[in-house]
Amino acid sequence: MEIFVQQMFNGLTIGSVYALVALGLTLVYGILHIPNFAHGALYMMGGYITLTMMTNFGLHYWLAILVSILAVGLIGVLMERLVFHPLRHAPPIHDKIAAIGILLFLEAFAQYVWGADYQTMPSPYDQVVHLFGLTFTMQRLLIIVFAIAVMILLYVFLKKTFIGATIIAMSQDREGANLVGINTNRTAMLTFLISGGLASIACSLAAPINLVFPGMGQLVILKAFVIIILGGMGSIPGAILGGYILGFSESLGATYISNDYKDIIAFVLLVIILSVKPTGLFAKGGH
């Protein structure tokens, strides 16, 4: 029983990270109508920038994260302006190819600047806490609390503010959004900014319990794809729920099935859910 609870806690931790990454991916899906393959590179950049800010510039962990959020958000905006915006009238396959191009470019860039070595990110929260018979590090608790706080903030922003609602409106009908007076260019940039920021938060939170290296975004983004397909492309509750479903199944699977099969669980889950409900759990009507 204790192991079960401990693993549920771990699932909650990984699930929080997955949900943050998947949220950014699903928001941008509403703008591009393709999954942004370069999103994993934004995640990786987030980790490196936070790490550099801490080790080279001596910034505190939180301050480093803040810089990283802004920087990666900006990379996201540049991506939209320089690559996806000029391609907006091109067939969707061009966006896909361009996204893969950006991914390769950013990974090569990271390797050039920071090297190919695996690096560790020190966290000021590596204390071990014993609570209710459970053992965990502060960092893991922090991931959960911070990620959930970010998700609540995002929800309030999207649901309760006019500017946030433009993102939802544009994902549902771009021309309709334009016709009520929304500047769709600005909304697209805002979406990429938020999406980059979310990727950066996710990686900066998760990096102290993992490692930082140029290819670190690949497996995460692959799983984020699974999550948004699972939750329904473009669905926000779907991305959150999907993130946690995957987090729980991975940590429980690693314990009760085998740790070696941890990474395959996501894809088995995908096959099962798509066989039962081909449109995903929270599919929107229409497309």
Examine residue 91 and tell whether it contacts another protein (CB under 8 A): no
Examine residue 89 and tell whether it contacts another protein (CB under 8 A): no
Cβ neighbours of residue 182 closer than 8 Å, sequence gap 6 or more: 166, 169, 170
Examine residue 179 and tell whether it contacts another protein (CB under 8 A): yes
Residue placing its CB nearer to another protein in the complex, 91 or 285: 285
Three-state secondary-structure class, residue 131: strand
Residue placing its CB nearer to another protein in the complex, 8 or 165: 165
Residue placing its CB nearer to another protein in the complex, 179 or 276: 179
Out of 64, 103, 169, 212, the only residue in the binding site for another protein (CB under 8 A) is 169
Out of 2, 117, 126, 173, the only residue in the binding site for another protein (CB under 8 A) is 173
Stretch that binds another protein, among 107-115, 131-139, 179-187, 260-268 (CB under 8 A): 179-187
**Separation between Cα atoms, residue 249 and residue 266, nearest integer Å:** 8
Say if residue 231 is exposed, middle or buried (CB neighbours under 10 Å; 0-12, 13-18, 19+).
Answer: buried
Out of 180, 260, 275, 276, the only residue in the binding site for another protein (CB under 8 A) is 180
Whether 83 and 97 have beta carbons less than 8 Å apart is answered as no
**Separation between Cα atoms, residue 47 and residue 217, nearest integer Å:** 10
Residue placing its CB nearer to another protein in the complex, 81 or 262: 81
Cβ neighbours of residue 115 closer than 8 Å, sequence gap 6 or more: none
Residues that bind another protein (CB under 8 A): 162, 165-166, 168-169, 172-173, 175-184, 284-286
